Amino acid sequence: MEWRSAGTPPREPHGYWALAMPALRALFHAACSGPGSRPPRQIRLSETCNRPAMKSQPADPQRLAARMADIAPFHVMELLQRARTLQASGRSIITLCVGEPDFPTPEPMLDAAMAFLRGGDVHYTPALGLPQLREAIAGYYASRFGLDIPASRIVVTAGASAAMLLVLGVLINPGDRWLLPDPGYPCNRHFVRLLDGVPAALEVDEASDFQATAARVAAAWDEATRGLIVATPSNPTGTVLDAPALGELCRTVAGLGGHLVVDEIYQGLNYGCAAHTALALDAGAFVINSFSKYFGMTGWRLGWLVAPPAYVRAIEKLAQNLYICAPTPAQHAALAAFRPNTLQLLEQRRAEFAARRDFLRPALQSLGFGLPGDPRGAFYLYADVSALCDDSYAFAHDLLEHCGVAVTPGLDFGANSCRRFVRLAYSRDTEQLEQAVQRMAAFIAHSR
């Protein structure tokens, strides 16, 4: 399935239909409201939920590049905006939709940044990053994973976002088809589309722990296909590709003559399984990482990539032109990221995330959420609400309006069963998670 031709959510009705819709909805629900017309365990959703349109409507849309029709906004932003309005009016809102740790940046990174800033010398760095930071990242691969990755293969980037654009910018020609798991992080398919590549949804489900499999990749590959992007741990599902499955993907893609990009942005946030890297398995893979999640530096916008040596020069050229360099204060802050005291703190945080997950998962199950797959990483649970209702977007809307809990609708992660799922981020402390569960329990009970 190509995203450009399938999976578009229902659009807002226009013109006559927009005027007529409320009356038609009322008629429809009056006709359906008798006993037994709705499965007894399903909850009653709001009828007025403003379902999102995929396309924006500027004054002169024909003057927009064609790609913009295929690049979706983050639908959760509308919910967040509504959440802020509710908060401003005095409502208590618990946001379980935020894709970043709630912890502050660790002290050692803050201290390193402030020590650097006191000198005032905040000038450009080389496009590939501060040499000492590239060395420090190489050292981390050695000490943590026992890998010898030369610093010359490491490119420091303005967040993992920049890493993805650099990798795809040097690889994608217009019309090239790339496979991406659906559900998956939506920006990845939009990077492909930005470059006029064709992102193709590789539908994944609980049968493969919401991860790509070698068999599905081989079956979906065609003559126009040039690459595969996978993420481990995955956003939104939190599932992990273990080393044998990842190794099989590496061999499959290499055998097909394609490129493999592995998003390891949540590396280190693993629960009950060891962190690993595709770099140990495939010298030809492009690996993307970040200081945002495990290292707690989201707002700094700093990441890195590891490329096969033959591609580093092209990536450097593109980085010079697209970014000049990654933010200098962030690079100096990150020099403190691999120190023993920092890593000790990060491991404490990891234990806290694990405890939150271990609370939230069974609590959601007891409320009727389905939790397929094995969410052993990141800080997300991808919850199936089909036992509760027939539309996860309206469910997310109602959760916010009626009990002040903000979750992310599946719509933000692709087209595959997206009306069945919501993503809950346990990037809030256990007290807030408990309160959110209580509120959701009351809402569900009240809505039946």
Q: Give the closest residue to 345 by CA, choosing from 104, 160, 142.
A: 104
Pairwise CA distance, residues 107 & 44, whole Å: 47
Smallest distance from a copy of itself to CB 289, Å: 16
Pairing status of strand 303-306 against strand 380-384: unpaired
Instruction: Report the 10 Å Cβ neighbour count for 139.
Output: 13
Smallest distance from a copy of itself to CB 245, Å: 25
Pairwise CA distance, residues 28 & 14, whole Å: 19
Name the residue nearer to a copy of itself (CB basis): 179 or 318. 318
100 binds a copy of itself (CB under 8 A): yes
Q: What is the 3-state secondary structure (H, E, C) of 203-265?
A: ECCHHHCCCCCHHHHHHHCCCCEEEEEEECCCCCCCCCCCHHHHHHHHHHHHHCCCEEEEECC
Amino acid code (one letter) for 421: F
**List 7, 83, 125, 263, residue binding a copy of itself (CB under 8 A):** 125
9 binds a copy of itself (CB under 8 A): no
Total residues interacting with a copy of itself, rule: CB under 8 A:
75
134 binds a copy of itself (CB under 8 A): no
124 binds a copy of itself (CB under 8 A): yes
Enter the DSSP assignment of 173: P
Residues between 261 and 320 with contacts to a copy of itself, criterion CB under 8 A: 297-301, 309-311, 313-314, 316-318, 320
Smallest distance from a copy of itself to CB 122, Å: 4
**List 245, 326, 399, 406, residue binding a copy of itself (CB under 8 A):** 326
**List 24, 39, 91, 107, residue binding a copy of itself (CB under 8 A):** 107
173 binds a copy of itself (CB under 8 A): yes
Q: Give the closest residue to 441 by CA, choosing from 372, 366, 371, 370.
A: 366
Enter the DSSP assignment of 2: B
Residues between 248 and 267 with contacts to a copy of itself, criterion CB under 8 A: 259
23 binds a copy of itself (CB under 8 A): no
**List 83, 113, 245, 436, residue binding a copy of itself (CB under 8 A):** 113
Residues between 48 and 87 with contacts to a copy of itself, criterion CB under 8 A: 56-60, 63-68, 71-74, 77
Name the residue nearer to a copy of itself (CB basis): 34 or 104. 104
Name the residue nearer to a copy of itself (CB basis): 256 or 441. 256
Pairing status of strand 286-290 against strand 303-306: antiparallel
Smallest distance from a copy of itself to CB 167, Å: 11
97 binds a copy of itself (CB under 8 A): no
Q: Tokens 């709705």 correspond to what residue?
A: 38
Q: List the structure tokens of 75.
A: 């639908």
For the CA atoms of 43, 44, 49, 55, the dihedral, rounded to the nearest 10 degrees, stands at 50
**List 191, 304, 382, 413, residue binding a copy of itself (CB under 8 A):** 191
Name the residue nearer to a copy of itself (CB basis): 311 or 353. 311
